């Protein structure tokens, strides 16, 4: 039974004409309200993941649940279909279980608050925010266990419940939830920050409606949705062909020795509508790398990608959803069956953007991006810190790192940059102040970005000196299958993680590991992948390569990937460069649209020699309804 909206007024909103000036004012007022949500959050939250990195996503929606401003798209229609209860003035919903909201939040660490906004007895809007909690209990600190085989091992699961009911706060519910986490102080503060953000946005929505009138506010939101629909309809007609195109990419492994896992998508246009079909994607994993992909979320990903590549001035919203149909096989890596583990879904989430780039650019190579969104590298470090004397204190770090952004049609990929535009790094000063560690290196990794006319962004080389005994866990990808290059660009370098022990030994560790003990004085070299290159590297200006040698972004050896002969000071030898480029052009033959690297068989054969780690074993699936499609 769907949710029942309790309104005390049965007067419907009327659609009225909106002049362009009023529409512009309402649009920017809503943009500002969304920004105010973020500002409220980061000033109130306590965990580094939210306060310092911004791992939270706001939304303001219309009465039907369509997102007007936000980032991830609306989950509200799925929530309303599955919530067997009422919504009325003074209510606020709290949830974290992905299976209860059709994957709108994709792992249980994301706590979501939904506030229905009523005015004069009518539902005017929804405001919502979800943020990643640093710990929700479960098997391991950080609550993202690589070894999990079901969601029951990943911490507390919160179904849709009323944290506020008719204006009354459910304190016992929150007490129960906080009892499950290792960091109740952080979680309580972060939850209060999320609630405050939703209330701030609700006040702003009501103020806009009071200024212009309810019908004008409502009509303005509908015009913003319709405008986005018109824009996306035109973009789809221009860029998506009726002839199907397919693309596939791989998650390297599952942390249990199996991989890679294939994600495949086929795109075609039928009239005005885009069909995106994930048939051919591998079955769900027995490990935690499954990504429960909400169809509306993927529609928003598609829209964001289209808009940012083709027309970044458009304010994206949910207005175009009826132009896109998403088909995801049940029981696949992207629609796992309950109770599959989901906590490590970040690798699939990142890979979706690489796949979108590979799909959308095949018919228009000039707009094609290389690979490199790929994942969100995570580091967890926990233990007891007794440096201050007296009773040792529990510490627990969750930090998101960044890889190299892919080379693009209009320029180089940024070095060590977030996939999400709102994310920032945790300042080293913050880390050193609040955790027993010291940052001894924080720089881009030279030559890790794929060579191209436009270079792929370099990955990051971050070196941690641990100042207390503890345990670490690492979640990363792109260590086995490299980020591919396009239009002649070369693949980016792969990720690696190395521990230099205080006893003088060196240990290469995997990119999905947990419960790795570290001692005071140990060093961790946390090196992320580089983005793939865009365009022919032999066309890159040698003087630009020379500059990047001097800046430490490219080495003299790495410059030869561009056919540039230079010394360690960046001084280019023009005649040797010309000769080398001529030789390289003759040897390589025709430039390929995609450069995936040497192929899976060669990667497996060379894996241990190149990475110091055994190659993952090809996974096998039994009793899967889509196993035959994955063969």
Domain count, the chain: 2
Per-residue pLDDT band for 438 (boundaries 50, 70, 90) equals very high
Instruction: Report angle CA 521, 527, 532 to the nearest 5 degrees.
Output: 175
Three-class DSSP labels, 504-542: CCEEEECCEEEEEEECCCCEEEEECCCCCCECCHHHCCH
Q: What pLDDT sits at residue 590?
A: 87
Residue 590 φ/ψ, nearest 5 degrees: -70, 140
Residues 57 and 489: their CA atoms lie apart, in Å, by 33
Q: ω into residue 339 within 30 of 0, thus cis?
A: yes
Report, as an integer, the average pLDDT of 528-536: 96
Residue 548 placed within a domain: no
Q: What pLDDT sits at residue 627?
A: 41
Residue 21 φ/ψ, nearest 5 degrees: -65, -45
Per-residue pLDDT band for 305 (boundaries 50, 70, 90) equals confident
Of 232, 248, 264, which residue constitutes the final position of a domain?
232
Instruction: Report angle CA 116, 229, 323 to the nearest 5 degrees.
Output: 95
Cβ-in-10-Å burial (0-12, 13-18, 19+) of 346 comes to buried
Q: Is 234 a residue whose pLDDT tops 80?
A: yes
Report, as an integer, the average pLDDT of 504-510: 97
Residue 133 placed within a domain: yes
Q: What pLDDT sits at residue 424?
A: 83
pTM to 2 decimal places: 0.93
- DSSP code per residue over 432-491: HHHSSEEEEEEEE-TT-SPPSSBPPPP-EEEEEEE-S-EEEEEE---SSSPPPEETTPPP
Which regions of 236-293 does DSSP assign to beta strands (E)?
245-251, 261-270, 273-277
Instruction: Report angle CA 496, 502, 503 to the nearest 5 degrees.
Output: 110
Residue 201 placed within a domain: yes
Report, as an integer, the average pLDDT of 588-617: 95
Q: Is 192 within 8 Å of 130 (Cβ atoms)?
A: no
**55-59, 142-146, 248-252: range with lowest mean pLDDT:** 55-59
Instruction: Report angle CA 255, 258, 259 to the nearest 5 degrees.
Output: 100
Q: What pLDDT sits at residue 151?
A: 97
Per-residue pLDDT band for 623 (boundaries 50, 70, 90) equals low
Summarised one tens digit per residue, pLDDT across range 540-567 is 999 999 999 999 999 999 999 999 999 9
Residue 545 placed within a domain: no
Q: What pLDDT sits at residue 309?
A: 65
Q: Pick the more confident residue, 600 or 102.
A: 600
Q: Is 105 a residue whose pLDDT tops 90?
A: no
Report, as an integer, the average pLDDT of 523-541: 97
Summarised one tens digit per residue, pLDDT across range 393-420 is 999 999 999 999 999 988 999 999 887 6
Q: Pick the more confident residue, 631 or 362.
A: 362
Per-residue pLDDT band for 314 (boundaries 50, 70, 90) equals low
Residue 175: other Cβ atoms inside 10 A: 11
Compute the mean pLDDT over every residue in the chain, rounded to the nearest whole number.
92
Q: H-helix or E-strand containing 297?
A: helix 295-310
Residue whose entry in the numeric block shows the structure tokens 């054969």:
605
Residue 398 placed within a domain: yes
Q: Is 359 within 8 Å of 247 (Cβ atoms)?
A: yes
Residue 489 placed within a domain: yes
Which regions of 271-353 does DSSP assign to beta strands (E)?
273-277, 324-327
Per-residue pLDDT band for 388 (boundaries 50, 70, 90) equals confident
Residues 579 and 566: their CA atoms lie apart, in Å, by 13
Chain centroid offset of residue 499 CA: 27
Report, as an integer, the average pLDDT of 209-225: 97
Summarised one tens digit per residue, pLDDT across range 38-78 is 999 989 999 998 988 888 889 999 999 999 998 777 778 77
Report, as an integer, the average pLDDT of 163-184: 96
Q: Give the chain's length.
A: 631
Residue 311 placed within a domain: no
Q: What pLDDT sits at residue 628?
A: 43
Q: What pLDDT sits at residue 569?
A: 96
Residue 207 placed within a domain: yes
Of 217, 232, 247, which residue constitutes the final position of a domain?
232
Per-residue pLDDT band for 629 (boundaries 50, 70, 90) equals very low
Going by C-beta distance under 8 Å and a sequence separation of 6 or more, which residues neighbour residue 496?
479, 508, 511, 525, 527, 611, 612
Domain that holds residue 154: 4-232
Residues 472 and 494: their CA atoms lie apart, in Å, by 21
Of 199, 232, 265, which residue constitutes the final position of a domain?
232
């Amino acid at each position: 039974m769907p949710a029942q909206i309790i309104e005390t007024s049965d007067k419907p909103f009327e659609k009225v004409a909106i002049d362009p000036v009023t529409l512009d004012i309402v649009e920017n007022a809503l943009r500002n309200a969304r920004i105010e949500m973020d500002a409220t959050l980061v000033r109130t939250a306590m965990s580094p993941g939210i306060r310092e990195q911004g791992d939270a996503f706001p939304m303001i929606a219309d009465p039907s649940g369509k997102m007007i401003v936000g980032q991830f798209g609306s989950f509200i229609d799925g929530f309303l279909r599955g919530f067997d209860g009422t919504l009325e003035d003074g209510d606020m919903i709290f949830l974290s279980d992905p299976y209860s909201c059709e994957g709108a939040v994709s792992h249980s660490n994301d706590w979501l608050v939904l506030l229905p906004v009523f005015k004069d007895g009518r539902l005017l809007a929804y405001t919502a925010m979800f943020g990643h909690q640093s710990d929700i209990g479960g098997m391991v600190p950080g609550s993202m266990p690589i070894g999990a085989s079901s969601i029951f091992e990943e911490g507390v699961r919160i179904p849709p419940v009323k944290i506020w009911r008719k204006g009354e706060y459910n304190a016992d519910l929150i007490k129960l939830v906080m009892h499950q986490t290792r960091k109740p102080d952080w979680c309580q503060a972060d939850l209060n920050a999320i609630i405050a953000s939703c209330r701030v946005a609700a006040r702003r929505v009501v103020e806009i409606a009071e200024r212009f009138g309810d019908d004008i506010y409502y009509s303005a939101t509908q015009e913003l949705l319709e405008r986005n629909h018109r824009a996306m309809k035109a973009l789809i007609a221009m860029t998506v062909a009726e002839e199907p195109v397919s693309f596939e990419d791989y998650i390297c492994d599952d942390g249990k020795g199996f991989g890679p896992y294939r994600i495949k998508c086929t795109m075609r246009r039928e009239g005005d509508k885009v069909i995106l079909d994930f048939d051919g994607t591998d079955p769900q994993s027995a490990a935690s790398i499954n990504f429960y992909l909400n169809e509306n979320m993927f529609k928003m990903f598609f829209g964001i990608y289209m808009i940012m590549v083709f027309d970044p001035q458009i304010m994206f919203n949910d207005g175009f959803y009826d132009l896109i149909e998403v088909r995801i096989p049940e029981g696949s890596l992207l629609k796992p069956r309950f109770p599959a583990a989901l906590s490590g879904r970040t690798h699939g989430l990142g890979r979706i953007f690489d796949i979108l780039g590979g799909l959308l650019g095949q018919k228009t190579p000039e707009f094609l991006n290389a690979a490199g969104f790929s994942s969100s590298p995570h580091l967890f470090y926990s233990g007891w810190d007794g440096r201050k004397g007296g009773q040792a204190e529990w510490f627990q770090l969750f930090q998101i790192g960044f890889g190299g952004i892919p080379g693009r049609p209009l320029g180089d990929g940024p070095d060590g940059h977030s996939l999400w535009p709102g994310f920032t790094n945790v300042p080293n000063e913050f880390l050193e102040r609040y955790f027993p560690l010291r940052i001894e290196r924080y720089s881009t990794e030279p030559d890790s970005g794929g060579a191209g006319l436009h270079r792929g962004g370099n990955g990051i080389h971050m070196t941690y000196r641990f100042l207390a005994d503890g345990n670490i866990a690492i979640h990363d990808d792109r260590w086995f299958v490299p980020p591919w290059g396009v239009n002649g660009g070369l693949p980016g370098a792969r990720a690696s993680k190395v521990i230099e022990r205080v006893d003088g030994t060196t240990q290469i560790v995997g990119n999905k590991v947990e419960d790795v003990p570290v001692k005071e004085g140990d060093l961790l070299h946390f090196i992320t992948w580089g983005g793939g290159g865009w365009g022919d590297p032999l066309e890159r200006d040698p003087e630009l390569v020379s500059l990047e040698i001097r800046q430490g972004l490219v080495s003299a050896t790495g410059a030869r990937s561009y056919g540039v002969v230079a010394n360690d000071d960046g001084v280019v030898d023009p005649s040797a460069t010309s000769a080398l480029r001529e030789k390289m052009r003759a040897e390589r033959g025709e430039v390929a649209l995609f450069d995936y690297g040497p192929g899976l068989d060669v990667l497996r054969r060379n894996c241990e020699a190149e990475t110091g780690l055994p190659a993952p074993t090809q996974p096998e699936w039994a009793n899967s309804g889509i196993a035959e499609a994955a063969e």
